[in-house]
Amino acid sequence: MAGETARAPRPAESAVDFARDVVDGLSKPRKSLSCRFFYDARGSRLFEIITRLPDYYPTRAEAAILAANAARMIEDAREDAALVEFGSGSSRKTEILLEQAPALGAYAPIDVSDHALEDASRRLAKLFPRLAVRPIVADFCRPIRLPAEISGRRRIGFFPGSTIGNFTPAEAVGLLRSMRGALSPGGRLIVGVDLKKDVDRLLRAYNDATGVTAAFNLNLLGRINRELDGGLDLGAFDHEAVYDEREGRIEMRLVSRKDQAASIVGREFHFRRGEAIHTENSYKYTIEQFRRTARSAGWTPRRVWTDDERLFSVHELVAP
């Protein structure tokens, strides 16, 4: 649950991809569902509510960091430069950077949701009429070929929201290496990273008392029912968020309240009482841990910005 990245593939691909991933995930000895399917229309609305909850600090902390430091983060954004955002979603945080970069030549938001890209592009065209907005429908987890209009410019990457925390450390290195390839030579990456902190505070952020996060997690089962002719009983699963101290990550799960079975795309799946479906990891880093991760991916870490409480961090990485 990190960031505003919309995760709905194009309609022609959605049902096939979603069905395959669900069947594969629920067939494993340790059942799992990919967090990339959280963000259908209802999931996106619920997440927007989550970002405004008192205990959900990441969005506010990162926005405060960007507001205080955007001019320094984007100081080299001249006409020959392009801002490339990975998993842009609504591009709301991007506005903070764009306001400080009136001479920027182009902005290339990358997202799998063409609807999110269209909405964001229309809004940004009104706010920044001189900016060339060139949306790219693509999955940033896969190698991306940037159009010549973007690849021919100096590139500044933007990856906010601590979405990097949804990947295992090894996956994070691979993703950062892929981003370096897209932004090199000489590119920079501005990336948001959630920091390790008091466990109670972490758990409150992922298990709010009002039940919005539980509804967000359970909506993944609701989406299966709506789109894959599923027969899951949402009332027979509980939301659970725990912190794995050894791995340094929050784990979100859906736990079966009883022995039960459900049909999905014509296949029957069985759930034991107490059995969990793993839905998301959210890794937390110390500043030095993330800098080591970046170095492993071939980046040179430079500046780091944090909020006053040191809840969240934004890192500047430079490609050779």
CATH 3.40.50.150 domain residues, the chain = 58-196+284-318
Percentage of the chain beyond pLDDT 90 is 83
Give pLDDT, residue 189.
Answer: 98
Q: Tens digit of pLDDT for each residue in 32-81?
A: 999 989 988 899 889 889 999 999 999 999 999 999 999 999 998 999 99
Placement of tokens 């959605």 in the chain:
14
For residues 248-260, give the mean pLDDT. 98
b/e 16-50 (16+ beta carbons within 10 angstroms → b): ebbbeebeebbeeeebbbbbbbbbbeebbebbeeb
- Please state, in angstroms and rounded to a whole number, the distance separating the CA atoms of residues 137 and 25: 26
Strand 312-318 to 300-306 pairing:
antiparallel
Give pLDDT, residue 30.
Answer: 97
Give pLDDT, residue 1.
Answer: 56
* Residue 38 near residue 4, CB atoms below 8 Å: no
Give pLDDT, residue 14.
Answer: 64
What's the pLDDT band for 9 if we cut at 50, 70, 90? very low
What homologous superfamily is domain 58-196+284-318 in, according to CATH? Vaccinia Virus protein VP39 (3.40.50.150)
Q: Residue 8 pLDDT more than 70?
A: no
- Please state, in angstroms and rounded to a whole number, the distance separating the CA atoms of residues 182 and 96: 23
Q: What is the per-residue DSSP string for 69-104?
A: HHHHHTTT--TTEEEEEES-TT-TTHHHHHTT-TT-
- Please state, in angstroms and rounded to a whole number, the distance separating the CA atoms of residues 158 and 185: 16
Q: Tens digit of pLDDT for each residue in 158-190?
A: 999 999 999 999 999 999 999 999 999 999 999
Q: H or E element: which one contains 243?
A: strand 237-244
